[in-house]
Amino acid sequence: MKQLPWKICLRAGVTVVLVYLACHYWSAFVHVLGVALSAASPLLVGGVIAYLANILMSTYERHFFVKRKKPIYGKLRRPVCMALAFLTVVLAVVWMLTTVLPELARCVEMIIAGLPGALTKAYNYLDEKIQLGALLKDMNLTVPGADFDWRSAITNTVSFIMTGVGGVVGAAATAVSGVVSTVATLFIAVVFSIYLLAGKEHIGGQLLQVMRTYLGDKLTDRIVYVLKVVDDSFHSFIVGQCTEALILGAMCFVGMMVFGFDYAPTISILVGFTALIPVAGAYIAGVAGAFMIFVNSPLEALLFVVFLVVLQQVEGNLVFPRVVGSSIGLPGVWVLAAVTVGGGVLGIPGMLIGVPLASAAYRLLSRDARARGMGKSLFDMPHEAKRKNPLFK
């Protein structure tokens, strides 16, 4: 009987011991992992910032600052493109803080202010058509908001808040401490992202060298292959969704101005902003916009819903295939599944990262199925990525 090599036995023994320790000391392991992630959070945030800024920086380098042989031009190319990338991000953030968020806050305020009137109007309409009040009285039921004293409720809420003034100082101190910690984390993250972007080729080469030394060439090539697919999915999703959101918001604004709908700027910004969320974004914008218009005119709200449905069809059949196209490579049913599962796990961030992760998994599984059909391995299939390196190009 052939004996197993001692290295295989040693690896199996170490694996069993590690699994036992992880199961027996799971709570301590989770605590240590949480502390490590908390300590490394500025670096993780910096890596995310570097990845997003690298998309813009690579675009500037590729289209506006083509490589030349002049030494001075070559030295200035990376800093100038990096500065332009961060400037673009800063301008986008400033635009969101000064335009998008105030409009969204105005939208929420209008919905809250119009909620009592809308409920009363809907109740009166149904009472007039089907005598809802008498029907509910016979069933000993009431309509929430139909006879609710909103002014008294707001007054009581304010009074309750004022009675807790004693804890304001402690809350303010906690808030200030949180703001200082957030600013410090963000500053370290930005500095770390600048270092990553400035030497991304050098850092990438070092990481690849370490991986090849300790993991071997075969495993390293497989990891890089998977990273390329993931990078393609995230890159295509980010660029496609941002471009689609801008186009859809502009189309919505022009259409609402042409048809004379109320609140065109506010609703158009809401439609463009929620378009970043696949599938669910359209419904969020539709419900909020229709409710805002319903407060003034129920008929106009109905016409707005029809307009938004037509706009979504035009966007889904003409704009989306050309802007995002098949680069995501994920059928609609799996997009819905990814949004549902991602939203259930991480909320809105889960909706955003769930689609590209599902797209990468779908592409890998599809290629693996094709490769097995041809008697090959997944990693023998040619890669379809446009970029040569997943993290450093």
226 within 8 A of 364, measured Cβ to Cβ = yes
For residue 192, CA distances in Å to 45, 86, 182, 206 come to 9, 13, 15, 17
Which candidate, 306, 307, 290, 308, places its Cα nearest to that of 298?
290
Do 344 and 226 reside in the same domain of the chain? yes
**Average pLDDT, stretch 19-28?**
80
Q: Is 211 domain-assigned?
A: no
Structure confidence at residue 286 (pLDDT): 81
Q: Please give the Cα distance from 368 to 21 (Å, whole number).
A: 34
User: Is there a contact between 43 and 36 (Cβ–Cβ < 8 Å)?
Assistant: no
For residues 101 and 238, state if they share a domain: no
What token pair was written down for 267? 């609703």
Q: How many domains does the chain have?
A: 2
The answer to whether residue 393 sits within a structural domain is: no
The overall pTM is greater than 0.85: no
Q: Is residue 299 pLDDT above 70, yes or no?
A: yes
> What three-state secondary structure class fits 147?
coil
pLDDT of residue 388: 43
pLDDT in tens, 94-147: 887 887 777 777 767 766 766 666 666 665 655 555 554 555 555 555 544 445
Q: Is residue 58 part of a domain?
A: yes
Within a domain: 206: no
How many angstroms separate the CA atoms of 265 and 283, rounded?
Answer: 18
Residues 78 and 109 in one domain: yes
> Over 70: is that where the pLDDT of 148 sits?
no
Among 51-55, 67-71, 216-220, name the one with the lowest average pLDDT. Answer: 67-71
CB atoms within 10 A of CB 15: 10
* pLDDT (0 to 100) of residue 272: 84
Are 221 and 100 contained in the same domain? Answer: no
Last residue of a domain, one of 198, 229, 255: 198
At 279 the pLDDT is 67
Answer with the residue of higher pLDDT: 169 or 255. 255
Give the C-alpha separation, 78 to 342, whole Å. Answer: 36
Residue 217 has pLDDT above 50, yes or no: yes
Does residue 351 lie in a domain region? yes
Identity at 387, one-letter amino acid code: R
Same domain for 233 and 191, yes or no, is no
Long-range own/partner contacts, residues 358-364 (CB < 8 A, 24 or more apart):
358/330, 358/334, 359/233, 359/236, 359/237, 359/328, 359/329, 359/330, 360/226, 360/229, 360/230, 360/232, 360/233, 360/234, 362/329, 362/330, 362/331, 362/334, 363/229, 363/232, 363/233, 363/329, 364/226, 364/229
Which tokens in the block code for residue 204? 């990438």
The answer to whether residues 252 and 140 belong to one domain is no
Is residue 124 within 8 A of residue 94, CB to CB? The reply is no
What local confidence, expressed as pLDDT, does residue 87 receive?
92
Cβ neighbours for 212, distance < 8 A, ≥ 6 positions apart: 220
In a domain, 64, yes or no: yes
Q: Tokens 């600052």 belong to which residue?
A: 65
Q: Within this chain, do residues 275 and 245 fall inside the same structural domain, yes or no?
A: yes
* CB neighbour list of residue 267: distance below 8 Å, 6 or more residues apart: 107, 252, 256, 261, 285, 288, 289, 292, 293, 304
- Residues 96, 146, single domain; the answer is yes
- 266 in the same domain as 121: no
Residue among 259, 193, 218 nearest 51 (CA): 193
Assess whether 190 and 272 both reside in one domain. Answer: no
Inside any domain, residue 205: no
- 391 pLDDT band, cuts 50/70/90, is very low
Which range marks the domain in which residue 263 is found? 217-385
Same-domain pairing of 247 and 354: yes
Kindly report the number of other CB atoms within 10 A of residue 91's CB atom.
10
Q: Comparing 132 with 54, which gets the higher pLDDT?
A: 54
Lowest mean pLDDT among 124-138, 185-199, 277-291: 124-138
Domain-embedded: residue 343: yes
Q: Are residues 257 and 350 in the same domain?
A: yes
pLDDT on residue 130 = 52
pLDDT-wise least confident of 123-132, 207-216, 266-275: 123-132
Q: In the prediction, which pLDDT does 170 show? A: 55
